[in-house]
Structure 1
Amino acid sequence: MLLVAGLGGSAGYWGPNVDAFAARHQVVLHDHRGTGGSTRSEMEYSVELLADDLLRLMDRLDIDKAHLVGHSTGGAMGIVLGAKAPERIASLVLYATWAELDAQMESCLSLRRRILSGMGEAEYHRATPLFLYPPYYVRDHRAELDREIAVAVAATPSRSIMDARAAGIMAFDGLRYLDKIRCPTMVLVAQDDILTPPYSSELIAARIAGAELVQLPRGGHAFSRVEPVAFNNLTLDFLAAHPIGTYAHV
């Protein structure tokens, strides 16, 4: 089971979910290129590059086939691999992701890039919770979020890497991959997600044959952290219905 984080790229994003998943599955987490403990490459980034990195990681770990649970950018990576390497992906959970950049997402990401450029890495990380979490969560978890911000600031990539990563995901065109995906797919989104709103998930689910769309009433862009028990249960139930070895690619 591959847990693939979003734009921040850190394996630590999945902290509230790992124990529940590891009780039933072998769980693999990684820091994206440019983040955490991975190579801090100063280069042009793309979703396809990050997806290729993940495929090479699977090769290195001798993983022939896996379930992929992807958040946001991680979901976009799943879209790429589901289309380009179908023999390696048993099922997809595409959570709070997108296939086509729309005006709302473009506005949010452009603002985040301006904060990064004009105010620096620390202020970028301080602003990030406003895009990820719904207002009630920010209200009720201020101390926890302050600790999360401090960790992000201490481990931050360079300004140029962060901007290159954001530029790469803004350039992503996932529409060309969707009709090539044949594995079991659940598309999951919260109705109060302001970064990848529900219509982005509706489009993905409509274009992937047989995809299941699940919309939750609240949880923001970081539903798996805001409502971890609900997220864990939904994901585990979906994977249990599609065990590795029972799906034949056509």
Structure 2
Amino acid sequence: MHIELTPAPVPNAPVLLLIAGLGGMGSYWLPQRATLSEHYQLVIYDQRGTGENKEPLPNDYCLADMAQEIHTAMLHQGITHYSVLGHALGGLVALQLALDYPAAIDKLAIINGWLQLNAHTRRCFAVRETLLRDSGPAAYLQAQPLFLYPADWMAANQPRLEAEEAMHNAHFQGTENLTRRLNALKAADFHATAAHIHQPVLVICSRDDLLVPWNCSEELHNALPDSLLEIMPWGGHACNVTAASDFNQRLLRLLATEPAYHKEIV
């Protein structure tokens, strides 16, 4: 698996692994790169089946596979200890990494994540799957921003949305790979295992997220032994993109929090 390592800002700088959501592309983290790379050595990658790591995925592909692939790639780079920032599906992979490789994981930061797929989120994905199946990838990608961004942000950023749509069409991961990755996402359930995750976890969400209701993050926070819930008032599902400056400030402050997080809502 091809991964990218940014230069360490100082000798022995902490390592932060960035895991995107269902789109799978490391380019998702562009709004965070400059800020985070001043403090961390970043590991950024396209998930297996997407982008530079595009290949056919097996029918039984699951979260444990996603976690094993990136952890093995980290070991190949000589990285044995790191923190993880994950968005949605990427946050689920982060939880799986903490369960499967606990000695390697320092902290987790999970954006708009969940314990188990919410009924509303399941309906949203069903609509998107119908578009993909009946109308094709172009229609699926045209509708995608509706689930990611607030309406006012979309209205003010039409040229950017058109450029993103063209880029996603050019680099589409393929219907079969997307379906298999989505099936892995839908099958994830951390109700029985969240209590075994003992690393500090920052759970961050946006109150106006259309795809994943904010209370899913609250439920995840309540199930984790050592977590902090941060609720942003605006930003949609991709709040780290639409409200990048606010998000980055909150993230850096909370990643630096010592000792371990306390159970509270900020």
Task: Tell me the TM-score normalised to structure 1 length.
Answer: 0.94
Name the structure 1 match of 2:138. 122
Q: How far is the alpha carbon of 1:177 from its aligned partner?
A: 2.3
Range with bigger deviation, 42-51 or 140-149: 42-51
Matches within 5 A, 1:81-160: 81-160=97-176
Deviations 1:138-163 (A, max 9, x none): 11111101101100000011111111
Name the structure 2 match of 1:27. 42
- Are positions 1:8 and 2:57 aligned together? no
Amino acid at match of 2:160: E
Q: Structure 1 residue aligned with 2:85, among 33, 49, 69?
A: 69
Within 2, Cα distance between the matches of 1:48 and 1:141?
37
- Are positions 1:232 and 2:251 aligned together? no
- Asked if the contact 2:235–2:242 (Cα under 8 Å) also holds between the matched residues in 1, the reply is yes
Structure 1 stretches lacking a partner, 5+ long: none
Within 1, Cα distance between the matches of 2:247 and 2:86?
12
- Asked if the contact 1:2–1:29 (Cα under 8 Å) also holds between the matched residues in 2, the reply is yes
Name the structure 2 match of 1:48. 64
Within 1, Cα distance between the matches of 2:178 and 2:99?
27
Within 1, Cα distance between the matches of 2:57 and 2:81?
30
- Asked if the contact 1:79–1:177 (Cα under 8 Å) also holds between the matched residues in 2, the reply is no
Name the structure 1 match of 2:33. 18
Name the structure 1 match of 2:189. 173
Aligned-pair identity (%): 30
Q: Structure 2 vs 1, CA of residues 242 and 116 (structure 1 numbering), >3 Å: closer, same or farther?
A: farther
- Are positions 1:207 and 2:218 aligned together? no
Deviations 1:139-194 (A, max 9, x none): 11111011011000000111111111111211111222210111111100000112
- Asked if the contact 1:116–1:163 (Cα under 8 Å) also holds between the matched residues in 2, the reply is no
Within 2, Cα distance between the matches of 1:6 and 1:193?
14
Larger RCO, structures 1/2 (Cα 8 Å, 6+ apart): 1
> Which secondary structure state, in structure 1, belongs to the residue aligned with residue 172 of structure 2?
coil
- Asked if the contact 1:2–1:27 (Cα under 8 Å) also holds between the matched residues in 2, the reply is yes
Amino acid at match of 2:231: Q
Q: CA RMSD in A?
A: 1.5
Task: Tell me the TM-score normalised to structure 2 length.
Answer: 0.89
Range with bigger deviation, 106-115 or 40-49: 40-49
Q: How far is the alpha carbon of 1:124 from its aligned partner?
A: 1.0
Q: Structure 2 residue aligned with 1:187, among 195, 203, 214?
A: 203
Deviations 1:187-209 (A, max 9, x none): 00000112111111011100111
- Asked if the contact 2:19–2:26 (Cα under 8 Å) also holds between the matched residues in 1, the reply is yes
> Which secondary structure state, in structure 1, belongs to the residue aligned with residue 205 of structure 2?
strand
